[in-house]
Chains A and B, each alone.
Chain A
């Protein structure tokens, strides 16, 4: 029974990291969240990847855009609060210059994460993304997460614009 469960329910953060590796992501830029803590350490240990710990999400966005300008595939890893603080850079840099940026954001303040101080952020996250005209998806818990990360990255590239994948705890917390 245990074996069957493991086969049908793989460790999703490992799968996510495998997907980043498979995509050729060389740089992750992050402002951390408790759900992201361990996977960021794993990324730091990856021979093919490096991690920049930024001080603010808008700054992180610019670092990731700069890396892509230089030809490196990069990913932005933040909490959804960062999607609220990132606005000016999103509009005037990432969208205006059409950077195909993959953004992986922990989706705090949802039904599964009903922590009082996260709930206000969860309430406005999707309306804010819609306001920016940003394409995004909420990760489907029934589907492998690696495949969804690859699809999100591909969508960003093919649309020449950022794409946000909102992640549940089991998707990202190691």
Chain B
């Protein structure tokens, strides 16, 4: 059943931008998940994926495990999740308390033109609970999203919020090129992640960054 009053991705993103602290790490999936977020709230603590469909969630899971003191939010699409549904099983098993999954449930492959998903009306909250996620909810309004994301970021997770979303089929032009290596370098520097020191300089190991 199509709910014509579903909020847009932009509506959810504006609420998210209001509610996030600067320290929160944000991983976004391909397409407008990344492009629109870069327009609305670019920050060094954002890691943008272009392509690599279905891998935003497992990448964020690894990041959350590596950075247990930081809140991590990942924006994944329902098409991407269907492609790697197993990642939700791994998330339930590992259960990092600092990870919140925002699932854009628009029922289509938006980034490739709006082709319908294999199943556009799954109850992802129920699925998440079955897989052992501590909190999982289906959301269909900006108001309920605001309340829920604030709570999710304050409590111990993991949380899955499936956001019923109107498809956005036109690519949002990002304000700059999402250069993959540049994005990665900016992100790792922003969070102070240890960096590899080459053997040529007597390293051969990861060392803490110098500030």
Contacts and interface: CB of A to CB of B under 8 A. Distances in A.
Interface of A: 23-24, 26-27, 29, 50, 52-56, 58-74, 88-89, 92-93, 96-100, 154, 157-158
B63 interface: yes
Of listed B55, B89, B194, residue having the most chain A CB within 10 A: B55
Contacts of B27: 66
Interface stretch (B44-52, B138-146, B169-177): B44-52
Contacts of B20: none
A67 B62 contact: yes
Interface stretch (B3-11, B35-43, B102-110, B181-189): B181-189
B66 interface: yes
Nearest to B60: A66
Contact of A64 (B47, B62, B184, B193): B62
A67 B58 CA distance: 10
A77 to B, nearest CB: 14
Nearest to A22: B205
26 contacts: A23-B205, A26-B66, A52-B65, A53-B90, A54-B58, A56-B84, A58-B55, A59-B55, A59-B87, A62-B52, A62-B62, A63-B59, A63-B61, A63-B62, A64-B62, A67-B65, A67-B66, A68-B66, A70-B63, A70-B66, A70-B67, A92-B51, A92-B52, A93-B55, A97-B183, A98-B181
B202 interface: no
A55 B62 contact: no
B62 A65 contact: yes
B204 A69 contact: no
Query: Which 8 A-B residue pairs are closest in the complex by CB-CB distance?
Result: A66-B62, A70-B66, A55-B86, A71-B193, A62-B58, A66-B59, A67-B62, A62-B55
Nearest to B93: A53
Interface residues on B, range: 35 or more
B206 A24 contact: yes
B94 interface: yes
A158 B183 CA distance: 19
Dominant secondary structure of chain B at its interface with chain A: helix
B90 A63 contact: yes
Given A62-B58, A63-B61, A93-B59, A72 B87 contact: no
B52 A89 contact: yes
Contact of B62 (A29, A97, A157): A29
Contact of A70 (B65, B84, B94): B65
A163 B191 CA distance: 26
A96 B49 CA distance: 10
Given A54-B86, A55-B87, A69-B187, A63 B53 contact: no
B180 interface: yes
Interface string B79-106: 0000010110110011000000000000
B112 interface: no
A157 B201 CA distance: 13
A141 B91 CA distance: 38
B184 A97 contact: yes
A98 B181 CA distance: 7
A65 B60 CA distance: 9
B199 A74 contact: no
Contacts of B54: 58
Nearest to A93: B52
Given A67-B65, A154-B199, A88 B87 contact: no
Contacts of A53: 90, 93
Given A55-B86, A63-B90, A66-B59, A97 B181 contact: yes
Contacts of B188: 69, 71
